[in-house]
Amino acid sequence: MTAQAAVTTSTRRPVRRRISTGWTLLWLNVFLTFVFLYAPIIVMSIFSFNASRQMQVWMGFTLDWYVRMLHDERVRVAAENSLIIALVSTAVSTVIGTLTALALERTRFRVKSLYEGAMYLPIIVPEIVMAIALLVFFNLTFQGLDQLFGLRLNFGLGTITIAHIAFSFPFVAVVVRARLADFDRTLEQAAQDLGANDWQTFRYITLPLLMPGIIAGALLAFTLSIDDFVITFFNAGVGSTTLPLEIYGRVRRGITPDVNALSTVLLLASMLLVLSSLALQRRRSS
Amino acid sequence: MAIVEQIGPSERAVTWRERLGDAVRQREGLRALLLAGPGGAWLLFFFLLPTAIVFAYSFARRGPYGTVDWTFTLENYVRFFDWLYIRVFLVSVWLALLTTLICLLIGYPFAFVIARSPRRWRNALLVLVLIPFWTNFLVRTYAIMLLLRSDGLINNALQWLGLIDRPLTMLFTPFAVVLGLVYGYLPFMILPIYASIEKFDFTLVEAAQDLGANTWQVFWRVLLPLTLPGVLAGSILVFIPSVGAFVTPDLLGGGKVVMIANLINQQFLTVRHWPFGSAVSFVLMAIVLAATMLYFRIGETRRI
Amino acid sequence: MERPIDVELVDVTKVFDSGVVAVDRVSLQIYQGEFFSLLGPSGCGKTTTLRMIAGFEHPTSGEVRIEGRPMGHTPPFRRNVNTVFQNYALFPHMTVFENVAFGLRMKRVPRDEIVRRVREALQLVRLSGFEERYPRQLSGGQQQRVALARALVNRPRVLLLDEPLGALDLKLRKEMQLELKHLQMTVGITFIYVTHDQEEALTMSDRIAVMNAGRVLQVGTPVEIYERPTSRFVADFIGESNFLPGRVVDVDRDVATVLVAGERPVRVRIETPVAAGQPVTVAIRPEKIRVTPVEAPEANGFLSGRVEEVIYIGTDTFYVVRIDDHTTLRVRSQNDRNRLDGGQLLPVGTSVTVGWAEDAARLLLD
């Protein structure tokens, strides 16, 4: 019942242990795939420390590009914006997403399957479709508000944040829902049996035990927001910029090493976030 | 301990909170509204409604200076039949299919190896696959650009090794775009297939071998059919984002490889033909939904 | 003096959305201070009945009354009963102390009283010193006792136990059975205990309600249930019974004569009247049958047969005796003599007579 049975050759040839041709090739595939997955980002990170402006030669280790990046005003503004948007978006998405998960897992109502299907749309549909839809919507709404109430609103951090919430909260809902599905309902029954009313049961039992899932969802929402490009690009308007937008702009204009530094920082940040989210989901999964 | 004194039936004061809780608990409809409402409302206003507006726009005319003329017309959809635009769609679908195939060829053996590894390694391997995936897509695409450039690492290495005389043009080609798409979406193929293989009962392989099947036959007739759900799931998860990709063809295709998303971008921001852009956007969504429904239909009939 | 009734079910029926009738017109009266068991096979409705008393399910029709008051749709947190769950349901994110204190906290009992009562409860279940441990650090038996303490600390009127010993190994289960019984007698509150293990029910209960397919078949003390089953199911589910189908031929005051197994007459003491010609079943337990070889001087049985199988299990010997082509009887004979020397086992093939006392057999009408 072991692996070698699956891929060793026919019974006529003597069956050798793990080191058969089939397995060598398979592991080679795995190794090369890992190289493929990691090489670009490792190379980029290494070159962010390159003292030379050009890519092809290594001229010594330096932190200059990072220093330049830290002093870059545009980068600072973009980072601030990214952070603000991410924090607000995460907060709202987490709340809405958790409520939605509770709705899907703990209630019944007639249009529920339709609702459920609709919830998956932002996850399935390509980002550009959603980006365009929001662009068109905001544009029309702003025109309308201007004509009807003389209220002049514009694209900016607000529209970006609203857009981020719209595509993040279904992800939060999926994560929290998975946690809810595994939830031991007898614990809530025991709490009620011992005298806890609905609110007390939720506050002392359901919520604490759900918390790891909610936090994992929040981290996911945060990552999605910080990393988002397409939807942000179309809904940012003229003045606002976020880190991904900034990187894109610079790449379009030509590759410079400070983009390397910025990218590496962003890379490490998202890696850290994801690892924490995974660690959280693992630790409390009892 | 002496016999417990009998406390009379507990008459707790029923607080207003409890009364509210009772009302909500007993009225299923109210509870559903409170819990499902926020998400539903947000989705309605910031997804469904905008999509409907896009649909409406697709039947409008382009006014002067890129404004919108609200006269009903089908001209935007008719425009699709221009070879210029059909080509864009064909290219997108073709590149997406190519990406899916390559991901399958790389991803299936990869998933197989992980699923058959000792339990301790499996999680570590999966996490290693997931890490690059969860980092910024833009950054990763940029990293590939670095490698593929004429003065990039790969060209330099190949020239230094003496394998080529002049640098290869890798960037701004369909090759680069497919490479970028595979790079981005490979984990989407690996994970579902891994889940499928993990659930696979390997004693079936032994039974097949006992009955005389060789390795290829075992794979083709036993393993693959039973892991097909994973393959289908992975395929759809790769195809859909690939066909609607924007960043990858934009950066790695450099304007030479035009996919649907690039066309949409062009129409909205450069040409400023919002109605046509809306039509294209809507058709893309239709393709995606059709692919999804096809997937569900296949999934239902197979029912393993 | 009338004993007060703590829990009463009046014609309670529960039908689930799927159409399954889990509980079918059940009426029960459970007295204050008794150890009352709901006994039956899986799916008989005993757990659903318990949950209706606790408040997790509501009857489709009929009434659940606790201390005389109809419960209607009262939620569990407003009923003066506490439950020990089958899977213990200990809160994993709280220590033993916090688990046990939970109910008191919900009632806003003052802090120092909580400490005192929790310590008392843990002492009662012999878990003093475990306050700061977490449930995952405890063994199954210890978790079970925490669940008990958590329920008892609230001093409920009635304690509901849903197969609490199911997950324990045999030896521990037997120990806990006695512990629970002693606990109940010490603390004096009403226990309603759900189990499918008839030996467990017989050991611990003051009274038992035997259930099957949603209905209560018989309620009585362990002795009553065992010695006087009123239906075939009960006679078969509790202990072992031999069943002899037959026809009543004669009724003489409180003794009926029944023809069984090929027209052989058997006399049975009856409590309810029967008519001649009525088809009935005679139920007789293996340990009440005397079997003796035909040649032996004390042979006085009224049925004759042949020994077909001999099963020696140390404390007893089971004989399978064939009465006729369709009928065998299982007879349990206590090994009160040394089977190797004086009291020999009856070999297979021996012609024997079997008999029993007039009041040992039961007449069943189903």
Report residue C68 as tokens. 């005389």
**How close B21 gets to chain C, by Cα (Å)?**
11
**How close C162 gets to chain A, by Cα (Å)?**
12
What pLDDT score does A161 carry? 95
Residue of C106, C109, C161 to mutate, testing the A interface (most A Cβ within 10 Å of its Cβ): C106
Say if residue A5's pLDDT is above 80: no
Q: How confident is the model at residue A283 (pLDDT cuts 50, 70, 90)?
A: low
Residue numbers of B between 21 and 50 with CB closer than 8 Å to C: 22, 25-26
Residue of A8, A136, A234, A274 to mutate, testing the B interface (most B Cβ within 10 Å of its Cβ): A136
Arithmetic mean of pLDDT, C155-181 = 91
Inter-chain contacts counted by CB atoms under 8 A, chains B and C = 31
What pLDDT score does A117 carry? 87
Q: How confident is the model at residue B12 (pLDDT cuts 50, 70, 90)?
A: low
A209 in contact with C, Cβ within 8 Å:
yes
Cβ-based contacts of A203 with chain B (< 8 Å): none
Residue numbers of A between 212 and 251 with CB closer than 8 Å to C: none
What pLDDT score does A56 carry? 62
**How close B126 gets to chain A, by Cα (Å)?**
11
Residue numbers of A between 208 and 227 with CB closer than 8 Å to B: 223, 226-227
Sheet strands side by side (includes C81-84): C81-84, C158-162, C190-195, C35-39, C207-212, C215-220
Of the candidates C67, C123, C187, the beta carbon closest to that of B3 is on C187
Q: How confident is the model at residue A281 (pLDDT cuts 50, 70, 90)?
A: low
C131 exposure class (CB count in 10 Å sphere: 0-12, 13-18, 19+):
middle
Given an 8 Å threshold on Cβ–Cβ distance, is A169 in contact with B42? yes
CA of B140: which chain A residue's CA is closest?
A41
Give me chain A's average pLDDT, please.
84
Cβ-based contacts of A192 with chain C (< 8 Å): 55-56, 75-77
Given an 8 Å threshold on Cβ–Cβ distance, is B209 in contact with A5? yes
The one-letter amino acid at B281: S
**How close B25 gets to chain C, by Cα (Å)?**
10
**How close B144 gets to chain A, by Cα (Å)?**
6
- CA torsion sign, A249 to A255 to A260 to A261? negative
A196 in contact with C, Cβ within 8 Å:
yes
Cβ-based contacts of C67 with chain B (< 8 Å): 9
Residue numbers of A between 8 and 67 with CB closer than 8 Å to B: 8-11, 22, 25-27, 29-30, 33-34, 36-41, 43-44, 47, 54-56
Cβ-based contacts of A108 with chain B (< 8 Å): 28, 32
Arithmetic mean of pLDDT, B111-115 = 90
Task: Using DSSP, state whether B61 is helix, strand or coil.
Answer: strand
Give me chain C's average pLDDT, please.
91
**How close A271 gets to chain C, by Cα (Å)?**
29
Q: How confident is the model at residue C129 (pLDDT cuts 50, 70, 90)?
A: very high
B32-84 pLDDT, tens digit per residue, is: 888 999 999 999 999 999 999 999 988 888 877 777 778 888 888 888 888 88
CA distances to A231, B282, C44, C82, C338 from A132, rounded to whole Å, are: 8, 10, 60, 58, 96
**CB of B190 within 8 A of CB of B111?**
yes
What pLDDT score does C336 carry? 85
What pLDDT score does C254 carry? 83
The one-letter amino acid at A139: N
Spatial separation of the C-alpha atoms in residues A101 and A197, rounded to whole Å: 21
Domain ranges in chain A are 2-47, 64-285
The one-letter amino acid at B251: L
A187-200 pLDDT, tens digit per residue, is: 999 999 999 988 89
Arithmetic mean of pLDDT, C176-196 = 93
Please tell me which chains touch C, using 3 or more CB pairs under 8 Å as the contact test.
Answer: A, B
Q: How confident is the model at residue C342 (pLDDT cuts 50, 70, 90)?
A: low
SS3 sequence, chain C? CCCCEEEEEEEEEEECCCCCEEEEEEEEEEECCCEEEEECCCCCCHHHHHHHHHCCCCCCEEEEEECCEECCCCCHHHCCEEEECCCCCCCCCCCHHHHHHHHHHHCCCCHHHHHHHHHHHHHHCCCCCCCCCCHHHCCHHHHHHHHHHHHHCCCCCEEEEECCCCCCCHHHHHHHHHHHHHHHHHHCCEEEEEECCHHHHHHHCCEEEEEECCEEEEEECHHHHHHCCCCHHHHHHCCCCEEEEEEEEEEECCEEEEEECCCEEEEEECCCCCCCCCEEEEEECHHHCEEEECCCCCCCCCEEEEEEEEEECCCEEEEEEEEECCEEEEEEEECCCCCCCCCCCCCCCCEEEEECCCCCCEEECC
Arithmetic mean of pLDDT, B179-184 = 93
Q: How confident is the model at residue A4 (pLDDT cuts 50, 70, 90)?
A: very low
C89 in contact with A, Cβ within 8 Å:
yes
Say if residue B126's pLDDT is above 60: yes
Say if residue C363's pLDDT is above 60: yes
Spatial separation of the C-alpha atoms in residues C90 and B276, rounded to whole Å: 61
B202-232 pLDDT, tens digit per residue, is: 888 888 888 888 888 888 888 888 888 889 9
Task: Using DSSP, state whether B161 is helix, strand or coil.
Answer: coil
Give me chain B's average pLDDT, please.
84
Say if residue B134's pLDDT is above 80: no
**How close B31 gets to chain C, by Cα (Å)?**
17
Of the candidates C66, C80, C188, the beta carbon closest to that of B3 is on C188
Classify domain A64-285 by CATH architecture: Orthogonal Bundle (1.10)
N-term to C-term CA, chain B: 60
Cβ-based contacts of A204 with chain C (< 8 Å): 102
Spatial separation of the C-alpha atoms in residues C30 and C4, rounded to whole Å: 9
C260-270 pLDDT, tens digit per residue, is: 877 788 888 88
- Vertex A214 angle, CA A209 and A215, to 5°: 105
Q: Characterize the bridge pairing of strands C207-212 and C215-220.
A: antiparallel
Arithmetic mean of pLDDT, C82-104 = 94
CA distances to A11, A13, B112, B214, B229 from B217, rounded to whole Å, are: 13, 16, 16, 5, 19
Cβ-based contacts of C80 with chain B (< 8 Å): 9-10
What pLDDT score does C103 carry? 92
Given an 8 Å threshold on Cβ–Cβ distance, is A192 in contact with C83? no
Say if residue C104's pLDDT is above 70: yes
Arithmetic mean of pLDDT, A4-30 = 62
What pLDDT score does B242 carry? 94
Spatial separation of the C-alpha atoms in residues C41 and C212, rounded to whole Å: 7
C17-59 pLDDT, tens digit per residue, is: 889 999 999 999 999 999 999 999 998 999 999 999 999 999 9
DSSP string, A103-144: HHHH---TTHHHHHHHHHHHHHS-HHHHHHHHHHHHHHHHHH
Q: How confident is the model at residue A60 (pLDDT cuts 50, 70, 90)?
A: confident
What pLDDT score does C296 carry? 79
Residue of C148, C155, C183 to mutate, testing the B interface (most B Cβ within 10 Å of its Cβ): C155
Task: Using DSSP, state whether A62 is helix, strand or coil.
Answer: coil
Say if residue A9's pLDDT is above 70: no
Closest CA to A234 of A126, A145, A144, A146: A126
C63-92 pLDDT, tens digit per residue, is: 999 999 999 888 898 898 999 999 999 999
List of E strands, B8-113: 61-62, 68-69
Please tell me which chains touch A, using 3 or more CB pairs under 8 Å as the contact test.
Answer: B, C
**How close A80 gets to chain B, by Cα (Å)?**
17
B295 CB contacts (<8 Å, ≥6 apart)? Answer: B232, B233, B236
CA distances to B185, C239, C245, C284, C360 from C330, rounded to whole Å, are: 71, 12, 15, 10, 15
Most confident of A35-49, A68-82, B281-295, C210-224: C210-224
A100-132 pLDDT, tens digit per residue, is: 999 999 888 888 888 998 998 898 899 999 999
Sheet strands side by side (includes C69-70): C21-31, C5-15, C61-66, C69-70
**How close B303 gets to chain A, by Cα (Å)?**
20
A210 in contact with C, Cβ within 8 Å:
no
pTM: 0.80
CA of A257: which chain B residue's CA is closest?
B146
Q: How confident is the model at residue B9 (pLDDT cuts 50, 70, 90)?
A: very low
Arithmetic mean of pLDDT, B235-255 = 91
CA of B51: which chain A residue's CA is closest?
A133
Say if residue C298's pLDDT is above 80: no
Query: Which region among A190-199, B104-113, B150-159 has the lowest average model confidence (pLDDT)?
Result: B150-159
Given an 8 Å threshold on Cβ–Cβ distance, is A271 in contact with B131? yes
Give, as one character, the DSSP assignment of residue B68.
E
Report residue B2 as tokens. 């002496």
